[in-house]
Amino acid sequence: MKVESKEPLFRISKRGAMARGKAWGIRLIAVALSLVVCAFIIFAIVKMNPLKVYGAMFEGAFSTSKRTWVTIRDTMMLLCIAVGLAPAFKMKFWNIGAEGQILMGGIAAAACMIYIGNKLPLVPMLLVMAICSLIAGGIWGLIPGLFKAKWNTNETLFTLMMNYIAIQITSFFVAKWENPFGSNTVGIINARNQAGWFPSLFGQAYALNVIIVMLLAVGMYLYLNYSKQGYEIAVVGESENTARYAAIDVKKVIVRTMGISGALCGIAGFIAVAGASHTISTSTAGGRGFTAIIVCWLAKFNSFVMVLIAALLVFFEKGAIEIASRYNLNDYVSNMITGIILFFILGSEFFINYKVKIRGSKEETK
């Protein structure tokens, strides 16, 4: 008995390189479609004009100078973490431990503020804090890098478990430094003399945050695209066998790259403590270590594109908070809107990388 094979309705095939303009066009279409879907959901839930809700989102992020600078501050924080993850992810080392690396950098910065805050002038103090945070985050990144290089451990699980260890270490120091006693919080460190706080530049409290992170972003772009080590990272990420054939020391590249990745995430912890909250807690990272993975991946490790994506995600976050408070919606609704938009943005990458052919289409019959 002859069995006829039925042609599938859809065929999925890998695309070649797509023009950059066309790829961004697909992403913009995805954002527009997500806003349309969210508009229907908003109307179905609260029976309100979606345009007013979207206007409220914009006001939540940019309606006042203070809100604008808070949005910029949070964008820079997210961007700094994404820049730190970029070399590891380009090497195909799945560093899920940014949260822990941020916390370790934050602990180092807070310790400097508490123990030597009154003993050094501001500029040397900030330099010491930055170096200590860089070392602390770098060590937290080096540990999984060393285990991967020597024993080929699973970096996803290893770095994820390191987050939980860092959270417990942070809890220990919060209890040790709690102020006032019994509050289980550190409180604002050096509130009177502001020792170790970022100074205002050009009349803006968060200007130094922008300068530091943008310098790191430019430096990372140059490092990954125009340095020998950046070339080695790219080769190892494509194929470790090819890298060995090209006489690249793969183990050395893995350890070095994870040290750099952890160090930059540690700097993010320094910025969070010295340039934003001026305290340390288990929520200092605030989940941004995971959100930064989306930023890094969507930007294809291009630190300039990361600026746009980080700004977009922070805008959605601030907007979601605003509509939740203004229209008396709970956090679940606002988070749902943000999730739908992220789903469409991530889904657009599928259509950028793959072609979908329908059975019987002209392209299929050629």
The residue ranges of every structural domain in the chain are 73-306
Q: Where does 217-325 show beta strands of DSSP type E?
A: none
pLDDT for 261 beyond 80: yes
pLDDT for 1 beyond 60: no
Dump pLDDT digits (tens) for 61-82.
999 999 999 999 999 999 999 9
Angstrom CA distances, 114 to 145, 205, 249, stand at 31, 21, 41
Average pLDDT, the chain: 90
Rounded distance, CA 300 to CA 366, Å?
A: 33
Rounded distance, CA 39 to CA 64, Å?
A: 25
Neighbours of 4 (CB within 10 A): 5
Residues 6+ apart with CB under 8 A from 21: none
Dump pLDDT digits (tens) for 250-259.
999 999 999 9
Report the amino acid identity of residue 199: P
Please report which helix (H) or strand (E) contains residue 10, including its range: strand 10-14
Rounded distance, CA 323 to CA 159, Å?
A: 35
Residues 6+ apart with CB under 8 A from 25: none
Residue 364 binned pLDDT confidence (cut-offs 50, 70, 90): very low
Dump pLDDT digits (tens) for 335-349.
787 788 888 988 888
Please report which helix (H) or strand (E) contains residue 355, including its range: strand 354-358
Determine contact, residues 108/136, Cβ cutoff 8 Å.
Answer: yes
Determine contact, residues 289/160, Cβ cutoff 8 Å.
Answer: no
Q: Are strands 354-358 and 10-14 parallel, antiparallel or unpaired?
A: antiparallel
Rounded distance, CA 162 to CA 218, Å?
A: 29
Determine contact, residues 217/81, Cβ cutoff 8 Å.
Answer: no
Q: For position 349, what pLDDT does the model report?
A: 86
Residue 182 binned pLDDT confidence (cut-offs 50, 70, 90): confident
Determine contact, residues 86/303, Cβ cutoff 8 Å.
Answer: yes
Nearest to 73 by CA among 261, 266, 213: 213
Rounded distance, CA 203 to CA 199, Å?
A: 9
Nearest to 266 by CA among 80, 75, 122, 94: 80
